[in-house]
Structure 1
């Protein structure tokens, strides 16, 4: 199991290092055309949606835990 985790960590670190070598690309294109704000807005909406989902799930689990204790 430890060897598998080590192998995955090595592979993921290699991918991260490879991704950082990219030159100027989509970010400059999106910034120059003003579409970067659309991308940022969509990312924020996704994160807010995930946060709301997790908070609602936590709230439901608390209700279930209280019900099971009684």
Structure 2
């Protein structure tokens, strides 16, 4: 996808402008929610949920890759049978 020159310039200008705006945001000395979760011991629940979601995504991608591999083999076999 090719963008016109003016669109590229405007996107670059927007990116540079947004960087300067974010640089002026005040920085706090920590995240209050994370500190509270850590103090209550509930941070491990958050870590477990994130790990479970990540593991589920990895398992899904592996299964999907295997299924696509099987379909590619079938297509390749059918195309070799038809061409001969």
TM range (shorter): 0.7 to 0.9
Distance 1:22 1:63, change over 3 A: farther
Moved segments of 4+, more than 4 Å: 16-19
Instruction: Give TM-score, length-normalised by structure 1.
Output: 0.73
* Rg larger in structure: 2
Corresponding pairs, count = 66
Aligned-residue Cα RMSD (Å) equals 3.1
Distance 1:65 1:18, change over 3 A: farther
Instruction: Give TM-score, length-normalised by structure 2.
Output: 0.62
- The gaps in structure 2 that reach 5 residues or longer are 78-84
Greater relative contact order: 1 or 2 (C-alpha under 8 angstroms, separation 6 or more)? 1
